[in-house]
Amino acid sequence: MNQYACAITGHRPARFVFGYQENHPLCQKIKQRLKALFRILHDRKNVCRFYVGGALGVDMWAGEQLLELRKRPGYEDIELVIVLPFSGHDDRWPEESRTRLNKLIQQASDCIVLSPTPDTSSYHQRNCYMVDHASYLIGVFDNERKMRSGTAQTVRYAQRQGKSIILIHPDTGEITLL
């Protein structure tokens, strides 16, 4: 049976009503929805590889949920691939956040760095790379708001590429299929 892949995209914490408060009920709900979707894609669609962009917020949460899921019986074949835009993209992050990302990278199946030097276009390249290597996209994104963001660009790019898209609304946790 063929194995498939899923890319994950979403906003940074500042875009959420709860900000960096991960113990907030809505943040917990989004994390639970992510894990539930990962299980469904794995169990029903044979998705074993998951691409995460290595940013604060949704990328970090998704990576941690995937590593947690991989510890459970039947999910040992999950591969977490961290795709970074360039070396040192996290240089200005707080130490705690950099440590958290490094822990994810150490436990990931692979880490791909798209550019050795800082370049803002690398963020777009990273998002396209993930979509291009996946059959599915999960986005924590409000598709009704005409927002300009990397997440919006990634969702639109996945639509143009004909990918199956699952959205989790950032304000309600509701799931929509595009």
pLDDT tens-digit profile, the chain (178 residues)? 456 999 999 988 888 889 889 999 999 999 999 999 999 999 999 999 999 999 999 999 999 999 999 999 999 999 999 999 999 999 999 999 999 999 999 999 999 999 988 888 999 999 999 999 999 999 998 877 666 788 989 999 999 999 999 999 999 999 999 8
Structure tokens at 87: 């070396």
Give the predicted TM-score (pTM) of the model.
0.94
Provide the CATH number for the domain formed by 4-177 in this structure.
3.40.50.450
Ranges of each domain in the chain: 4-177
